[in-house]
Structures are given as structure tokens and as C-alpha cells.
């Protein structure tokens, strides 16, 4: 399998970390969806990453859909329960972080990509408030162990990857002083081999 995208994208990285956790080997095509958009569209006309190219050439897009497929391939390891409360809770927590990331990224674009004269403060404030609300929800759930079921799941992977991204690109939203348990959870995640093997690019 071939994964298209940069690990700096939290959506690409959560797929990569999940594959590493599951012991699924993959190759990479490192493309930046912003600066190399034409090349990305050669693999996905929508121009978004991640893209997972299967061995038979089929292409999967959107991290949630890719992760759903990966569940079919896993053996003894699981990052998502097959059914029941643990599955619902893991998916819910992962969704909270992906929503938080979405709002924070929109806020970033509103601040740094839109001309200052066109920035609408209520919109920016609303996006930032939504991101902070998601972080507060995750902070309440985080503790000394894993988020769901006593082992690393898609909730932990998404939460850890998401916090690392936000701490790099939106430290005014994701500061350890405000969310100490979530920050500690990210440190615990980053210490895992699967996370260490999928470090965000520095350039």
C-alpha cells in the first residue's frame, strides 16, 4: 500500500500511525496538498490528502474511510472495538478531535490567509471557541491511562496526533497549562514506536 501526503497533516499522520500500530507496511508519496496541489489532484481530483493506494490500484480518500478499511486488515491488534460502548466512545472521541482540528485550521486560514480587512472577528471567535470546546471535552476524558478500553485506540491516536499538530500551529489554542491532562496524554502517545516512526516534517 502507498500513503500519499505529509505527516505534518494530522489526517495523514493519524492514518500512518494507525498503520504502524497495526503492523501494516506501507510506502509513501510525500506531497504537500497546498504547495503541490496539481500533483495531489493526480491521485485525488478533490485535491485532499490522505490518499491510500491499495495494492490492486484502488484509491481510498478521507482518513475516516481509510481507517474503516484498515480495520478489515488488522489481525490480533485492534485500535477499534468491533462493537459496543468502547467502539462508540472511541469513535466519538476521535470525532471530537477531528472537529477541533477542522475549526482550528479554519481559524488559521481566517487569520493568516484572508486579507486583514476581510477578516470577520465574530467568525474567527466562533471558530476558536468551537476548537476550545472540543479541547475541554477531551481534557475531561484524559487521565493517566488510555482513553478507552485500557489500550491505545483510534481515539488515542487521533487525540495524540491532533494535539501535536495544534501545539505546533495553534499554540494559543492548545497550551499545556490550560489542558495539562491532554498534553500529558500526547506525550504518552508520542513515546510509542508507531508515533516515533511517523514524525511530522520540519520543512
Task: Give the per-residue pLDDT at 75.
Answer: 56
Q: Quote the CA–CA distance of 119 and 111 in Å, as a whole number.
A: 7
29: Cβ contacts below 8 Å, ≥ 6 apart? 2, 3, 4, 5, 43
Domain spans in the chain, listed from the N-terminal domain onward: 2-73, 85-196
Number of H helices, E strands in the chain: 8, 4
Helices (H), 35-84: 37-43, 63-73
Whether the CB-CB separation of 153 and 113 falls below 8 Å is answered with no
Q: For the residues of 4-22, what is the DSSP string, one character each?
A: ES-TTSHHHHHHHHHHHHH
Task: Give the per-residue pLDDT at 120.
Answer: 83
How deeply is 107 buried, as exposed, middle or buried, from its count of CB atoms within 10 A (0-12, 13-18, 19+)? buried
Task: Give the per-residue pLDDT at 109.
Answer: 81
CB atoms within 10 A of CB 183: 18
Q: Quote the CA–CA distance of 8 and 141 in Å, as a whole number.
A: 25
85-196 CATH fold: Glutathione S-transferase Yfyf (Class Pi); Chain A, domain 2 (1.20.1050)
pLDDT digit string (tens) for the chain, length 203 residues: 999 999 999 999 999 999 999 999 999 999 999 999 999 999 999 999 999 999 999 999 999 999 999 988 865 578 998 889 999 999 999 999 999 999 999 998 887 677 777 778 889 999 999 999 999 999 999 988 999 988 999 999 999 999 999 999 999 999 999 999 999 999 999 999 999 999 999 76
Task: Give the per-residue pLDDT at 119.
Answer: 76
Whether the CB-CB separation of 153 and 134 falls below 8 Å is answered with no
Q: Quote the CA–CA distance of 44 and 124 in Å, as a whole number.
A: 30
Q: Quote the CA–CA distance of 43 and 50 in Å, as a whole number.
A: 10
CATH number assigned to the domain covering 2-73:
3.40.30.10
Amino acid at each position: 500500500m502507498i500513503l500519499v501526503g505529509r505527516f505534518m497533516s494530522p489526517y495523514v499522520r493519524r492514518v500512518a500511525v494507525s498503520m504502524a500500530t497495526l503492523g501494516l507496511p506501507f510506502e509513501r508519496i510525500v506531497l504537500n496538498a497546498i504547495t503541490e496541489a496539481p500533483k495531489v489532484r493526480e491521485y485525488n481530483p478533490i485535491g485532499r490528502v490522505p490518499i491510500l493506494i491499495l495494492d490492486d490500484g484502488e484509491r481510498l480518500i478521507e482518513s475516516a474511510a481509510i481507517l474503516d478499511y484498515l480495520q478489515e486488515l488488522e489481525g490480533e491488534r485492534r485500535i477499534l472495538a468491533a462493537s459496543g460502548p468502547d467502539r462508540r466512545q472511541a469513535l466519538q472521541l476521535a470525532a471530537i478531535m477531528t472537529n477541533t482540528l477542522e475549526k482550528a485550521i479554519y481559524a488559521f486560514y481566517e487569520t493568516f490567509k484572508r486579507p486583514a480587512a476581510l477578516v470577520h472577528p465574530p467568525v474567527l471567535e466562533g471558530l476558536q471557541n468551537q476548537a476550545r470546546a472540543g479541547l475541554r471535552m477531551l481534557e475531561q476524558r484524559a487521565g493517566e491511562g488510555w482513553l478507552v478500553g485500557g489500550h491505545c485506540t483510534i481515539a488515542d491516536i487521533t487525540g495524540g496526533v491532533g494535539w501535536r499538530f495544534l501545539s505546533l500551529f495553534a499554540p494559543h489554542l492548545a497550551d499545556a497549562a490550560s489542558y495539562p491532562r491532554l498534553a500529558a496524554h500526547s506525550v504518552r502517545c508520542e513515546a510509542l514506536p508507531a508515533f516515533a516512526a511517523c514524525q511530522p516534517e520540519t520543512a
